[in-house]
Structure 1
């Protein structure tokens, strides 16, 4: 996986910058646990296309990884609106589950 992030970073360094590249970097960094880097790239991806619900999903995961539960909730709520607008039912379901989990943790005082 690390080789992939290096290749993607090299593309970015050569001046390629678009939603898919930024999303791919953000997702790869989140999967590696590099949540700070993931957040930067996912926010950049969303600047290109704020309706890309899957990027909101991963941004929420990155925020959660950084201990930012309000940020995660905000990202997932934005993603939920985007997914509903696009008719992306799978992402709608996933984000509803993530938000419910946050609510349960908050209610339990976690």
Structure 2
């Protein structure tokens, strides 16, 4: 376990309902190419806050890395809807590019 993963795992262990700690732990797992380990934490974040666009983006990218293209597409489309609704232009551009690549 990397020091970063261990750091955020300890925080989640102390405060399991803290979504920011869970998201940070998921990011640390992704940085270590451990997408499978990241997914339950991302899912828990979305269960509590379904409109958290950045979590949806990371979840979609994890699913892409795992070869789960149909699930990734659905997640990235949901993230795109949120980016448009929340007026986040840079994530919107990134998501449109990712989805265009999935269409090929």
Q: How many corresponding residue pairs?
A: 104
Superposed, 1:1-110 pairs within 5 Å as: 2-104=2-104
Structure 2 unaligned segments of length 5 or more: list them.
none
Runs of 4+ in structure 1 deviating by more than 3 angstroms, as ranges, are none
**CA RMSD for the aligned pairs?**
1.5
Quote the offset at 1:73 in angstroms. Answer: 0.5
SS of structure 2 residue aligned to 1:91: helix
Structure 1 unaligned segments of length 5 or more: list them.
105-110
Partner of 1:107: none
Question: How does the TM-score come out when normalised to structure 2?
Answer: 0.91
1:23-72, CA deviations, whole angstroms, 9 ceiling, x for partnerless residues? 11112211211010111111111122111111111101111111100111
Question: How does the TM-score come out when normalised to structure 1?
Answer: 0.86
